[in-house]
């Protein structure tokens, strides 16, 4: 199993509402959206695709750590694209997180 780790830092304004429940809900939604996107993209060629994420809240900064576990079937040409699949998934996840975080901040 290949594990790929990513980290991204998001800055926000001092009066931004950073309730842990809201951030946790955003993470869960983005994990699910990313999982569905990758499974649709790769259909039955993945033997395993697992997403784990966590957030560290600091002053005016949210640090998101993403870990992806990927196993591509060795019987498909996609096996050589495992890292690319993880990169696309990470990009999708962080894009979703940023979009939902901004929408949450506008409330």
| pLDDT tens-digit profile, the chain (107 residues) | 789 999 999 887 666 666 778 888 999 999 999 999 999 988 778 888 999 999 988 877 889 999 999 998 888 888 888 899 999 999 999 999 999 988 876 65
- The per-residue b/e assignment along 74-89, b for 16 or more CB within 10 angstroms, e otherwise, is eeeebeebbeebbebb
How many angstroms separate the Cα of 30 from the Cα of each of 15, 22, 49, 79, 84?
24, 12, 14, 25, 19
- Which pLDDT value is given to residue 97? 94
Is residue 7 within 8 Å of residue 63, measured between CB atoms?
A: yes
- Which pLDDT value is given to residue 106? 63
> Is the pTM of the predicted complex or chain greater than 0.85?
yes
| Rounded CA separation 94/23 (Å) | 13
- Which pLDDT value is given to residue 78? 83
CATH fold of 2-105, please? Answer: GMP Synthetase; Chain A, domain 3 (3.30.300)
- Which pLDDT value is given to residue 13? 66
């Amino acid at each position: 199993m290949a594990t790929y780790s990513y980290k991204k830092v998001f800055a926000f304004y001092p009066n931004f509402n950073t309730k842990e429940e809201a951030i946790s809900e955003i993470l869960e939604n983005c994990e699910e959206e990313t999982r569905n996107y990758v499974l649709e993209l790769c259909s039955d060629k993945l033997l395993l695709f697992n997403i784990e994420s966590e957030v560290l809240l600091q002053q005016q900064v949210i640090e998101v750590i993403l870990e992806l576990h990927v196993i591509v079937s060795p019987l498909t040409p996609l096996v050589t694209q495992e890292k690319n699949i993880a990169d696309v998934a990470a990009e999708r996840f962080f894009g979703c997180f940023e979009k939902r975080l901004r929408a949450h901040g506008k409330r």
